[in-house]
Amino acid sequence: MIELRHLRYAVTVADEGHITRAAERLGIQQPPLSQQIRSLETAIGTALFLRMPRGVELTEAGKTFVEKARAILLDVDLAIEATRSNARGEEGNLAIGFTSSSAFHWIVTSTVRSFGEISPAVTLRLEEASTPDLIDALLERRLDVAFVRSPVEFSSNLDVSHLLDEEMLVALPDRHPLASAAYGKQASVQLSDLSDEDFILYRRPSGPGLYDSIIAACLGAGFSPRIRHEATRLVSTLSLVAAGLGISIIPSSMARLETNGIAYLAINARSPLVAPLYLARRKESSSGAMTRFLNIVQKQTSILANSR
């Protein structure tokens, strides 16, 4: 059976034009190399080299063989290097999911940007969806990793890491009395001050974690929120707020959208209301790209923690 080493032997002998010099270059003895070349010729069924007094020359058949052998060896070397590059996270593919409520968080944007800068040859695919849909995509191997908000109903096949708890803000029309100067420009608002308001929430099937947290916090503040509208995307809730149809409670990173017609108020620090951010992935050996991505997430999370 012809092996890769036979190809390398033949190419090296052709390059050197001398079996002894080829043996020295290959780091083996001359007699075994001569034997391997004869065995190769026997396996092929034709002579590859003409034995001359001062070396060897390729036969016509040998020229064809060595030309093809060089191409094969080059492909093998390229395959090895591509595999090593992939294992280092320098090449490959990575599918990243995120909820609409996490899309604007600094951790998410900075991680994706940093990964793209250090691994430009990795093809990134980004997908925004609800937490349940992202979890399904992970389990079905359509996504590699996802930033999600809710820890509920996670599969035992997933590894879920809690990254941080994000402050929540009240989003309200900029002409709302709570946003006016007459309210004294106070820095925060009590949840109980919202008891008579019409709420606009990101619908529960799309974001069960945030939805349930808001309901629970309002109940803890002594009232059941009056939910007048629900939106399929968190960004859509802000559009409805800007239209004056009610107020909403959103993760603070969403305020980066700077939507016209909306004012944002902090919630009193005594409120337990926060928006957790989790990173979910399958429990299996990670690709090089995934390992590099996770390292960046860990670094960015540490930077954020140390800045507080």
Q: What are phi and psi of 209, to 5 degrees?
A: -65, -50
Contact 262, 174 (CB under 8 A): yes
Q: Residue 179 corresponds to which amino acid?
A: A
Using DSSP, state whether 57 is helix, strand or coil: strand
Q: What's the pLDDT at 14?
A: 92
Domains of the chain: 4-87 (1.10.10.10), 92-163+276-306 (3.40.190.10), 166-275 (3.40.190.10)
Q: What's the pLDDT at 281?
A: 93
Residue 291 reports pLDDT greater than 70: yes
Give rounded-to-5 percent helix, strand, coil for the chain.
45, 25, 30
Residue 225 reports pLDDT greater than 80: yes
Q: What's the pLDDT at 44?
A: 92
Q: What average pLDDT does the segment 110-139 reach?
A: 91
Instruction: Give the lowest-confidence range in 199-208, 239-248, 274-283.
Output: 199-208
Give the whole-angstrom CA distance, residue 174 versus residue 188: 15
Give the residue ranges of DSSP H helices in the chain.
4-16, 19-26, 30-44, 60-87, 106-118, 131-139, 208-220, 234-242, 288-306
Contact 106, 114 (CB under 8 A): no
Contact 203, 231 (CB under 8 A): yes
Q: What's the pLDDT at 182?
A: 37
Residue 184 reports pLDDT greater than 60: no
Mean per-residue pLDDT of the chain: 87
Q: What's the pLDDT at 83?
A: 79
> Is this structure's pTM higher than 0.85?
no
Q: How confident is the model at residue 154 (pLDDT cuts 50, 70, 90)?
A: low
